[in-house]
Amino acid sequence: KADSHSHDEL
């Protein structure tokens, strides 16, 4: 679940 909204975008 954490991976689904990891904030790797700018």
Partner 1 sequence: MNVFRLLGDMSHLLAILILLLKMWKTRSCAGISGKTQILFALVFTTRYLDLFSSFISIYNTTMKLFFIASSYFTIFLMYSKFKATYDSNHDSFRMEFLVVPVGGLAFLVNHEFLPLEILWTFSIYLESVAILPQLFMVSKTGEAETITSHYLFALGSYRLLYIFNWVYRYYFDGFFDLIAVVAGCVQTILYCDFFYLYITKVLKGKKLSLPA
In the complex, what is the shortest distance from the CB of residue 9 to partner 1, in angstroms, rounded to a whole number? 7
Tokens representing 10 are: 């700018």
Angstrom distance (rounded) from CA 6 to CA 2: 6
Q: How many residues bind partner 1 (CB under 8 A)?
A: 7
In the complex, what is the shortest distance from the CB of residue 7 to partner 1, in angstroms, rounded to a whole number? 6
User: How many other β-carbons are positioned within 10 Å of the β-carbon of residue 8?
Assistant: 6
Site residues for partner 1, window 1-10 (CB under 8 A)?
Answer: 3-5, 7-10
Note the residues at the interface with partner 1 (CB under 8 A).
3-5, 7-10
